[in-house]
Amino acid sequence: MTLTFDHPPHPFHEQKKHSTTVESRDPHRLPTFDSTSLTAPTEPVLYLPPLLSSLPDRFPSVDVSSEYPPLVTETRLPDIDPASLSLHKALHRFRPLNEDYAAKPYAEAFNWSELALPLEDEREWYCVVFRSKRKAGSDGGSLYEADRKAHEEAVSNGGLILYWYGIPNQETGLNLATCIWQSRKHAVAANTRPHHIRAMKLAAESYEIYDLERYVLRKAPSNYGVTIEPFVGGDVGW
């Protein structure tokens, strides 16, 4: 269900388009996210959770009280380091600050200032951001399926902590999707996987525009919070 890599975007997060008639819905009910509901919804999607990679079997389920509970993958990460586990828990509360997040700078689009990690943690993570606009009339079914497989492939091979797939702005059609990796090496390695390669081939003809941005998410030992900084080269994370 995701776009996760150091490359242009996959389709899953781009499929949401309003039908001409939408039904009212309970905003507290979690909607179904699949190729049908996002391609031809019968009601507006008012809730958009982050998609977190499930933890390795040896870790208990994370029970974090949140107004915005996340979705989780069926596939589990093979491993995760202690600081990344702290980040994983904090990201249960990850959300955009407003509906115009796709037009905002990355550091201003989400609630980074609300995320808190243990004071002693010191770590950096690699973030990939995709700003895009789908071509009118492009087919989403096969792209969705390829994207879903690419995401599960990335989780099983390790390193992917979170994927936010976004919903295109209903007026501009612009979307912002992002993923957070334990390291840049994990993201680069995912580029060579077969499902990712197939998804990229299908996605190449489906976008009118897209831009790729890279950032470093950093946690210093003297602060509970995190910062977002532009990626300028070199290794990130481990």
Domain spans of the chain, in order of start: 12-230
Query: What residue has token string 């059609």?
Result: 173
Q: Given a cut of 80, is residue 164 above it in pLDDT?
A: yes
Q: Alpha-carbon distance 132 to 135, whole Å?
A: 10
The answer to whether 88 touches 197, Cβ cutoff 8 Å, is no
Position 167, amino acid: I
* Residue 64, both tokens: 């974090």
The answer to whether 126 touches 142, Cβ cutoff 8 Å, is no
pLDDT: which is higher, 219 or 33: 219
Q: Given a cut of 50, is residue 235 above it in pLDDT?
A: yes
Averaged pLDDT, 149-157: 89
Prediction pTM value: 0.79
Q: Given a cut of 90, is residue 209 above it in pLDDT?
A: no
pLDDT score recorded for residue 42: 63
Q: Given a cut of 50, is residue 8 above it in pLDDT?
A: no
Residues 6+ apart with CB under 8 A from 231: 126, 127, 184, 214, 215, 216
Q: Given a cut of 60, is residue 148 above it in pLDDT?
A: yes
Given 3.30.70.100, 3.40.50.11540, 3.30.200.20, 3.10.20.600, which CATH number is that of 12-230? 3.30.70.100
First to last CA, the chain: 25
Averaged pLDDT, 73-87: 95
pLDDT: which is higher, 20 or 119: 119
Share of the chain above pLDDT 90, in %: 46
SS3 content of the chain, % helix, strand, coil (to 5): 25, 25, 50
3-state SS, residue 5: coil
Helix (H) or strand (E) holding 215: strand 207-219
